[in-house]
Structure 1
Amino acid sequence: MKLSWDEAKRRATLEQRGLEFADATEAFGRLEYIIEDNRRDYGERRYISVGYIRARLCVLVWTPRDGGRHIISMRKANAREQERYKAWTESRR
């Protein structure tokens, strides 16, 4: 899968959160919960994905771009998001 990102944002996320954008392929390649982020008009379609990266449940915001996914942000999932993901995965069984 083709990934892209803003390099300054990638470095800041790695420094502040210990998360590497390049590792997003782990979440995108596994069972991944995706919803469209339509809370406001961003000028482009944005999606929120929740999935595991290195045994840590993470939330990724991304947009389709140039045939791939352009990562906007990445962070550890909070307790509410973890519960939603758990319920979603259990409903798929």
Structure 2
Amino acid sequence: MEDRFDVAKDAINKAQHKISLARAFDMEIVQFAEDGRFDYGETRYRAWGYIDGKPHFLAYTLRHGKMRPISLRRAHAKEMKRRVKET
């Protein structure tokens, strides 16, 4: 799975957000959207969902049809309320 995310970026994510990018594959995504805020040189997506029942935010891209996590962190309650529509 190491080739599914950048190991150096994973170390940064662990230091900043206390969670490994590997946990992105455990996330139950409930809402996602294309991230058109900046020109990243590739299509990026933002997703909101749950890991172990706790709200998380994930930034990712698709490489060869597979998800490649860029950043993963806990999501704030206001962020989840604003982004995730109850079904």
Query: Could you say which TM-score interval applies, normalised by the shorter chain?
Result: 0.7 to 0.9
Moved more, 59-68 or 77-86: 77-86
Q: Matched residues in 1 for 2:54 and 2:66: separation?
A: 23
RMSD over aligned CA atoms reads: 1.7
* Deviation of the 1:63 alpha carbon: 0.6
Aligned to 2:13: 13
Unaligned runs of at least 5 residues, structure 2: none
Amino acid at match of 2:11: R
Given candidates 23, 42, 45, the residue that maps to 2:43 is: 45
Equivalenced residues, count: 85
1:23 to 2:23 alignment: yes
Given candidates 59, 62, 85, the residue that maps to 2:60 is: 62
Q: Matched residues in 2 for 1:19 and 1:64: separation?
A: 21
Aligned with 1:48: secondary structure?
A: strand
Unaligned runs of at least 5 residues, structure 1: none
Q: Pick the structure with more strand per residue.
A: 2
Divergent runs of 4+, >2 A: none
Could you tell me the TM-score, scaled by structure 2's length? Answer: 0.83
Q: Matched residues in 2 for 1:31 and 1:69: separation?
A: 12
Aligned to 2:81: 83
* Deviation of the 1:77 alpha carbon: 0.8
Q: Matched residues in 2 for 1:58 and 1:45: separation?
A: 21
Given candidates 70, 73, 81, the residue that maps to 1:72 is: 70
